[in-house]
Structure 1
Amino acid sequence: MMMQSFRPLAQISRLPLAICFVALLAGCFGGATKPQPAELQPVTALVSARQSWNTRIGQVDFPLDVAVSGTSVAIASGDGTIALLDAATGREFWRASLNTPVAAGVGSDGKVLAVVTKANEVVALQDGREIWRQKLNAQAFTAPFVAGARVFVLAADRSVTAFDGQTGRKLWAQQRPTEPLVLRQSGVMLAVGDTLVVGLAGRLAGLNPANGSIRWEAPIASPRGINDVERLVDLVGRVSRDGDNVCARAFQASIGCVNAARGSLLWAKPANGMQGIHGDDRMLFGTEADGTVIAWRRTDGERSWTTDRLRYRSLTAPLIVGRSVAIGDFSGFIHLLSREDGSLLNRLPTDGSAIAAAPVLAGNTLIAVTHNGGVYGFKPE
């Protein structure tokens, strides 16, 4: 399938303050006076969590996804350093350098790791060595998805391309209509059964992973407004999956849930957030652009609770950890909030720089990566 040309992202720079196109930015505020971040109040630890290890990677200046496979985690830095760590101890299994800056990553199935470089190349590694790289026709800001002996890449021109995981041979490409503006932020790709579920503009789409044909589409948000900025709509990672039920956020527009077996929209609700969501079989959790943290009922999207104790602190997407919701902020803290009511249960420090990726859980270790390259492992309750 032929791929259409990609309109350059440089167009965006001529629209100051319209939208934040920085991958790790969690707040975007215009005007002369920037809102002041909420002051952190003293905390009494109501759940235990101790730092068990820390290590370092290079500075993280791109939309990093920390890839978890079993009890190992794969991380990357902006300068092209890739490392695979033991989540329990922080010990390195291996570390490699691509000698070129990274634009998106990391994707992994536990064997093959993949990233996208700023030179628009998808690079695959195994056991610490590069096994192939292939040129893309467009930029990519979403970590490659590695599954079924394939590497899938979602590019900024709405194309999805599949490569053989061992050889890098291009298997197929699915191209959707291009749009003038896109987000420099991680999008959505995951597997649900035998379907590759991808975020395409404001829709979740189910693709046949064997040939790229589209099985279904379900809209979570639709373009609005009269100009390109107002009409920009994109789904952003992370997402929350419970069986066939997949819930996602449309950037500054809405959240919604889709039945990925039937390809039907279950519900969608207005929401003004910029980061992905997480949840369980009962609840969904997310952070709004102003730092308000919200819990929604998974069944119908009605709000269960909200808290503004972290307003304007440039929050990451959340992560469920035991009875807590873990959220990172711009000053390097991981905040543990109660899943039941949003009350503060604990606060975990790192190196003082912004948390650069949504926290992840590998085994029983909570892992956070900072903008300055600190990697921290915590043992929560």
Structure 2
Amino acid sequence: MNNYRRKLACLTPLLIAVTVGLTACGGGATIDQPKPLPKLPNPAFRMQVLWHANGGSGAGKYEAGFVPAVANGRVYVANSDGEVVALKLANGQRVWHVDTHEHLISGPSVVDGTLLVGTRNGEVIALSADDGSKDWSADLSSEVIAAPAGTANVVVARTVDGHVAALDMATGDRLWTIEGSVPNLTMRGTASPVIQGNTVYVGMDSGKVQALDLATGEQRWEQTVALPKGRSELDRIVDVDANPLIDGNSVYAISAGDALVSMNIRDGEIRWKHKIASENNLAVDSSNVYATDMNSVVWAVSQANGESVWKQDALKYRKLSAPAVVDGHVLVGDYEGYLHWLSPSDGSVEGRGRPFDQAIRAQPVVVGDRAIVLGAGGEVAAVRFASSGS
């Protein structure tokens, strides 16, 4: 097992605490030191902070489950203290703030005027996007640590015990449940469901992706992204904790078990597989799939054949966020609050900025030529990178 894998399994809260996991944390595990910031004496691009706002007390322990949501000229953020805040997209001015008095751990998602958040107690809560008032809440089987997904009629949530549940968007009533299972040892994280048409795509801790009928929960297809390998439980972790990414007729998925795959959206047939391990969401442009791996190496992989286009290790061990494609470039955040602007052609670092001094773990949200970024302490910023010559 590599040092990062050992460290991750020791420091990440586990779904099931077992003796073997605790034992594996001893015995000389090393901590990999983050690489220093690459020198950029004459950056080709410079970051502009368009606005900066306080989104509440911060994401705290469960920062990975919180991602800003943007809709109807507003930015919505949530945090583990139970706060949900709406800001104006144009200038970051606060529109409203509510305290749900719940321990939130994921969200928000925004669907047709409704915000959806998940709680540590296994609830999905629906709030009005207009003023934050509570519409309904629904009890599920366990923690909802990834943001629920929804359509005008249906909400789908994945719980940490491997179940997938569909709820009525208007009332929160249960429509169907798929009871899954999880391995003996798994990472602290789950993928959010992704809805496309009348199908919902879900990544599982077993290393599989399932395509389910949105109306009934019936399985349409299932595909294995990665198979457990190795002798120890830690080596056999294969969770698909990144959201499946749909682009055209392809579904992309990545596993902690060293596999990035492209699948046919119709039947799940694997077109190609590339050896990369990650728990972070993916990003795409017209040519490549982008990923940040377990060691914070950034990869570009060809959509056409799965071959590596480039990899950038200048930011290794800097605990990078998932990548986003903004204005034709690749954007990632790091543990010190820096944003790095990478060339899509060769991965070179062409710009850098620090909107705040908080870790950026959430995937940046793309809005036109700008990005909305969330810090682990609750700071929110809208940024744009412009050519240094402009």
TM-score by length of 2: 0.87
Match of 1:237, SS?
coil
Q: CA deviation at 1:32?
A: 5.2
Q: CA deviation at 1:252?
A: 4.0
Aligned to 1:225: 230
The 5-angstrom pairing of residues 15-164 of structure 1 reads 15-16=21-22, 31=28, 33-43=30-40, 44-56=42-54, 57-61=56-60, 62=62, 63-69=65-71, 71-126=73-128, 127=130, 128-164=132-168
Distance in 1 between residues matched to 2:172 and 2:226, nearest whole Å: 34
Report sequence identity in percent.
28
Deviations 1:137-177 (A, max 9, x none): 12221111121322111011221101111211111111123
Aligned length: 365
Are the equivalent residues in 1 in contact too, given 2:58–2:80 (CA < 8 A)?
yes
Distance in 2 between residues matched to 1:304 and 1:285, nearest whole Å: 10
Aligned to 1:3: none
The 5-angstrom pairing of residues 174-213 of structure 1 reads 174-200=178-204, 201-213=206-218
Q: CA deviation at 1:184?
A: 1.8
Deviations 1:34-86 (A, max 9, x none): 22211113323323431011111222121212223354332111101112223
The 5-angstrom pairing of residues 231-250 of structure 1 reads 231-250=236-255
Distance in 1 between residues matched to 2:71 and 2:266, nearest whole Å: 25
Once structures 1 and 2 are overlaid, which stretch shifts more, 39-48 or 59-68?
Answer: 39-48
Are the equivalent residues in 2 in contact too, given 1:199–1:205 (CA < 8 A)?
yes
Distance in 1 between residues matched to 2:24 and 2:69, nearest whole Å: 32
Q: CA deviation at 1:263?
A: 2.4
Alignment partner of 1:165 is 2:169 = yes
Amino acid at match of 1:88: A
Amino acid at match of 1:15: G
Q: CA deviation at 1:364?
A: 3.5
Q: CA deviation at 1:101?
A: 1.4
Are the equivalent residues in 2 in contact too, given 1:70–1:362 (CA < 8 A)?
no
Q: CA deviation at 1:10?
A: 4.5
Match of 1:236, SS?
coil
Are the equivalent residues in 2 in contact too, given 1:192–1:260 (CA < 8 A)?
no
Are the equivalent residues in 1 in contact too, given 2:320–2:361 (CA < 8 A)?
no
Distance in 1 between residues matched to 2:353 and 2:307, nearest whole Å: 30
Distance in 2 between residues matched to 1:352 and 1:17, nearest whole Å: 35
Distance in 2 between residues matched to 1:13 and 1:328, nearest whole Å: 34
Aligned to 1:285: 290
Distance in 2 between residues matched to 1:308 and 1:350, nearest whole Å: 23
CA RMSD, 1 decimal: 2.2
The 5-angstrom pairing of residues 229-378 of structure 1 reads 229-378=234-383
Aligned to 2:7: none
Distance in 1 between residues matched to 2:348 and 2:176, nearest whole Å: 48
Are the equivalent residues in 2 in contact too, given 1:69–1:362 (CA < 8 A)?
no
Distance in 1 between residues matched to 2:328 and 2:198, nearest whole Å: 32
Are the equivalent residues in 2 in contact too, given 1:335–1:344 (CA < 8 A)?
yes
Q: Quick one: structure 1 residues 18 and 79, their matched pair in 2 at CA, closer, same or farther if it must change by over 3 Å? A: farther
Distance in 1 between residues matched to 2:77 and 2:23, nearest whole Å: 31
Distance in 1 between residues matched to 2:111 and 2:31, nearest whole Å: 42
Q: CA deviation at 1:131?
A: 0.8
Once structures 1 and 2 are overlaid, which stretch shifts more, 95-104 or 230-239?
Answer: 230-239
Q: Quick one: structure 1 residues 319 and 30, their matched pair in 2 at CA, closer, same or farther if it must change by over 3 Å? A: farther
TM-score by length of 1: 0.89
Aligned to 2:6: none
- Structure 2: tracts of 5 or more residues without a match: 1-13
Q: Quick one: structure 1 residues 350 and 157, their matched pair in 2 at CA, closer, same or farther if it must change by over 3 Å? A: same
Distance in 2 between residues matched to 1:318 and 1:18, nearest whole Å: 31
Deviations 1:299-338 (A, max 9, x none): 1211011121101111111000112100010000011111
Distance in 1 between residues matched to 2:27 and 2:265, nearest whole Å: 37
Q: Quick one: structure 1 residues 17 and 111, their matched pair in 2 at CA, closer, same or farther if it must change by over 3 Å? A: farther
